[in-house]
């Protein structure tokens, strides 16, 4: 399943350009601790987090993640969205909680 398909099925808001939306999603990881994401996430995962600072982009790039989903209606600053576009990282948001969107993503990918 691609990022675009996940966006459509889960009703996510796209904050970055659509050119990264054809990336294949292989799983998901829900965590707000950067070191844990570095240690345990896998290439192609969508990272579900409430963290909106610039370090999340570095982690997403390092781990070659399919994208980042910001939960609880959180929105990153415009400079983070600009940097995500430059790095070709899909940045998405939802008003849902991390618990809710994690469950929905799990059901979609299983």
Nearest to 91 by CA among 40, 19, 26: 19
**Tens-place pLDDT, residues 71-108:** 999 999 999 999 999 999 999 999 999 999 999 999 99
pTM of the model: 0.95
In this structure, what are the phi and psi dihedrals at residue 46, rounded to the nearest 5 degrees? Answer: -95, 130
Set out the domains of the chain in order of their start, with CATH numbers.
3-109 (3.40.1390.20)
* Both tokens assigned to 28: 């998901």
Residue 20: pLDDT band (50, 70, 90) is low
81 neighbors 54 (Cβ within 8 angstroms) = no
């Amino acid at each position: 399943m691609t990022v675009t398909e996940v966006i459509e099925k889960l009703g996510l808001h796209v904050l970055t350009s659509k050119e990264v939306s054809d990336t294949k999603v292989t799983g998901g990881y829900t965590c707000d601790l950067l070191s844990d994401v570095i240690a345990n996430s896998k290439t192609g995962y969508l990272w579900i987090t409430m963290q909106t600072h610039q370090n999340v982009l570095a982690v997403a790039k390092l781990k070659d993640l399919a994208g980042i989903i910001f939960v609880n209606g959180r929105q990153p600053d415009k400079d983070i969205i600009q940097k995500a576009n430059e790095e070709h990282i899909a940045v998405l948001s939802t008003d849902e909680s991390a618990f809710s969107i994690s469950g929905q993503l799990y059901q979609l990918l299983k």
